[in-house]
Amino acid sequence: MAVHAGAELRSGWGAFILAVESKGAVSVLHRKEKDGLGRAYVAGMTRALAENTDLVIQMDADLSHPVSVIPTMVDRIRNSGAALVIGSRYVAGGSTAAEWP
């Protein structure tokens, strides 16, 4: 089960999330207004904990975090006994998108 905690559902991403929600794969937390990224994280994590979610993956909805790393991160957490996996642009092999200042 995934939780999407965004306020903006009119974008292409929002349409995708709503379509996936209709199939039961995502639990959408409809926030009435944009009140900050931090509050979105807290709302999403609170919902994930309330739904007894086994695994939480936090990513920005603008896809600035590469979704291609999700399988590797899930594999690491499932097979290493780790409680937490963090991706960082500051480690060897990490990078920042070219269009970022």
Q: Where are the domains of the chain?
A: 2-80
| pTM of the predicted structure, to 2 decimals | 0.64
Digits of tens for pLDDT over the chain (101 positions)? 455 555 555 556 667 777 777 777 677 777 777 788 888 888 888 988 898 888 888 877 666 777 788 889 889 999 998 888 888 888 888 877 777 66
Query: What SS3 state is found at 16?
Result: helix
Side chain identity at residue 30, one-letter code: H
